[in-house]
Amino acid sequence: MIHNRKFALLLAFAICTAGFPLRAQNAPEKRIEKRFEVMHMFINSIQVRNPDNLLEIHTFAYSDQIRDHMQELFGKGGYQYGDRVKIVYRPGEEVALRIKGRHSKPVQH
């Protein structure tokens, strides 16, 4: 009889804690801030390359927090080829959380 109570308590504990993540809730999420050169800016993303390794190319989508600002900037000419930017993103993801950098004036034809 005692064995069944222990099993029932263990089972109840396992069911109650199954929905909780294993890591702490307040642990800060890791972010990377890295310098890139702009290759092309699109309405919903930006294509950049690592200035130290020209074969390393990334296309970052804009996060919800910066999308409106980046689309407004795109409408004004946006970043041009060769502009230098700093992009903050999470490791393993291709979503820009923040983009900083001076954009050059668009080329007039």
Tell me the pLDDT tens digit for each residue of 12-53: 666 665 555 555 555 568 999 999 999 999 999 999 999 999
pLDDT in tens, 83-100: 999 999 999 999 999 999
User: Pick the residue with more confidence: 66 or 16?
Assistant: 66
Give the domains, in start order, of the chain with CATH numbers.
26-100 (2.40.50.140)
This prediction has a pTM of 0.70
Let me know: does 94 contact 60? Beta carbons within 8 Å. Answer: yes
Q: What gap in Å lies between CA 70 and CA 4, rounded to an integer?
A: 61
Closest CA to 46 of 92, 98, 91, 90: 98
